[in-house]
Amino acid sequence: MQRQMSAPWILGLLAAAVLGAPAAMAADANVSCSLKFSMSGWSVFYKTYSGTGTVTCSNGQSRNVTLKSEGGGLTVGKSSIEDGIGRFSPVKGIDEIMGSYAAAEAHAGAVKSAKGEVLTKGEVSLALSGKGRGWDLGVAFSKFTISPN
């Protein structure tokens, strides 16, 4: 009997691989940071989502941030992400996580859904997950930007 792999299991494996690789490359990057966030937006070929969050790091640094995701593809929908959580690969400090990350995604959801995504910016990677509402369908390439408030 052939066993099917579920999307969350595959995403978890991918996130572990992506988040583990940069740690070996940056030996002095030993600060772990996480992001709690919420976002909402829409897409009709062009995709735009925005929101806010708080980054907290193991060295005591914390910062309120603004989040923006823009891109395009074959996509349509309107949705929100609530109680979102992000985990960064190890960094030297909180300033290293600010900036733009590249993202590619395939998504489909209706009413209530769960979302997971892995993004990268050089040696820094970010795995996002959260619960959402609304509906969406498509494939998109986007830029995810984290800016200080």
Residue range 137-147, pLDDT digits in tens: 777 778 999 99
CA of 43: how far to CAs of 40, 73, 106, in Å? 11, 9, 13
> Which phi and psi angles does 128 have, rounded to 5°?
-110, 145
* Domain span including residue 114: 7-148
**Can you list the positions of beta strands (E) in the chain?**
33-57, 62-88, 99-121, 124-148
Q: What pLDDT does residue 25 have?
A: 45
Question: 14-55: per-residue pLDDT in tens?
Answer: 444 444 444 444 457 899 999 999 999 988 888 899 999 999
The answer to whether 117 and 127 have CB atoms below 8 angstroms apart is yes
* Alpha carbon distance 101, 5 (integer Å): 27
Residue 130 covered by a domain: yes
With respect to residue 2, please indicate whether it lies within any of the assigned structural domains. Answer: no
Q: Give the global pTM.
A: 0.75
- The verdict on residue 89 lying in a domain is yes
**In terms of pLDDT, which residue wins out, 112 or 125?**
125
Question: Longest C-alpha distance within the chain, in Å?
Answer: 53
1 within some domain: no
Cβ of 58: how many Cβ atoms within 10 Å?
12
Specify if 40 maps to a domain. yes
Q: Is residue 62 part of a domain?
A: yes
Total count of domains within the chain: 1
